[in-house]
Amino acid sequence: MFHTFEEAAAFVEEQNIRMIDLKWCDLWGRWHHITVSARGFSPSLMSGGIGFDGSAVAFKSVNAGDMALIPDLATGFMDPFFANPTLSFICNIVEPDTKQPFRRDPREIVRRTQQYLHSTGIADSSRWGPEFEFFIFDQVRFANGLNKASYFVNTWEADWEPDPADQGYQVPRHGGYHRIPPNDRLSDLRSQMSLLLEDAGIPVKYHHHEAGGPGHGEIETPMLELMQAADATMVIKYITKQVAFRAGQAVTFLPKPLFGEAGNGMHFHQHMFCRDVNVFYDASGPSLLSQTALYYIGGLLTHAPAVLAFTNPSTNSYRRLVPGFEAPVNCFFGSGDRSAAIRIPKYATQPDEVRMEFRPPDATCNPYLAMPAMLMAGIDGIKRQIDPTAAGFGPFDQDIFSWPLEKRSQIKSLPTSLEDAMKALEADHAFLLEGGVFDEDMIAFWVDAKIKEHRELQARPHPREVEMYFDF
């Protein structure tokens, strides 16, 4: 939004801004904020930053937790959810004394990835188009204790516990895709979200009711540069939740909140450009893909089990990655096949549009880690010239679930649990260390924390197993 501090300061004065909200992302992908008076928006804030305790969010140890935030002026937007006029910035995290970038700042990992891509000479930029799927619920309750474990969600679009004032326009199970009002009761709410996103500088391509039955929605942006896409992901999650909350509803990006319905994915469309030319395009290539694009696909599928440690980093992620719901469970690519880990969109035929879509990810990921992990895998495929066809990754454009089991078992599988993904990352992460993008300590820290999450869930009795085995 702003190029210089003087430009931002003039806006603060002209718009009578009273508060400055400083937002920043922890390692796990959750936003935090500090709010200061507009009187504190000064050159010293831009040079010295404002301090915070990094030990509170596992960035540092308690005995050396001091860190500082410096606003990124280009990310400024008016935050419409505060009572007083508030200008919001996404911040960079720096060391408190030297003001050097903090290596584990997720945005800094994106910068290192961009620098590494440029250094390879393959391309000078990558562009990304996340698809944001979410559920909007009217009622949400959950409880976990020594003697109880339960959750309850409801939407007035459903026939489970319909609105007492209902007039008969429910969304049928498995039947939500592109539903029209009055069945789609949430269209105006999604429009409000989209308009506020545009006000915040996030372009919106479209929104619609999604396939996962009652309450399911999607908002999609055009293709964006890597950092822009990662920042937009955080803003989109923030604004959709806030709009729903103010309407007395709740948005969740949880991958699998409903048993037996399609879940929430966050598919990533991606391609790369060199001097504004799409290096993934070749008019004579299969599905218009260049050899560079095919090598990229080969790298991403080769490293997919390890990549899922960052793109699918929750135990709930693997309740979505099951057969039967357009969620990929095998490593292959195909043209237009929504059960493939990588899909080549048939409708993207213009030279600057040809791309691939990686379908396993979901929005429990930290976008500042997930996108670099995917990009680093693809770059490794290009450098090593990994041909996806020779490696047995397709293309397959048939229904592989109709194949005999012996034939289908030849296709490489994706992890089926968070623990499996972490083991894959432990065994295969050298490609992430190239260019100093990720480091061994950070990966080891991530693996350890996520395995603890897996084991915590593994140790808890599940309501369904109590129902199944209680009378034994």
Report the distance separating Cα 129 and Cα 111, nearest Å. 18
Angstrom distance (rounded) from CA 291 to CA 312: 28
- The label of the residue with tokens 């229904």 reads 399
C-alpha to C-alpha distance for 193 and 325, rounded to whole angstroms: 26
For residues 311 and 359, the answer to whether their CB atoms sit within 8 Å is no
User: Rounded to the nearest 5°, which phi and psi values hold at 130?
Assistant: -70, 145
Catalytic residue list: 53, 131, 133, 210, 218, 267, 338, 357, 359
One-letter identity of residue 123: A
Give the C-alpha separation, 8 to 358, whole Å: 37
Q: Are 437 and 109 in contact (CB under 8 A)?
A: yes
The single residue listed with the structure tokens 């237009």 is 336
Task: Please tell me the distance from the alpha carbon of residue 291 to that of residue 283, in angstroms, as a whole number.
Answer: 11
Which has the closest alpha carbon to 113: 387, 364, 310? 310
470 exposure class (CB count in 10 Å sphere: 0-12, 13-18, 19+): exposed
Task: State how far the alpha carbon of 50 is from the alpha carbons of 8, 19, 99, 135, in Å.
Answer: 17, 15, 11, 36
**Cα–Cα distance between 103 and 292 in angstroms, integer?**
30
The CA distance from 207 to 345, in Å, is: 18
Going 433 to 445 to 296 to 351, the CA torsion angle's sign is negative
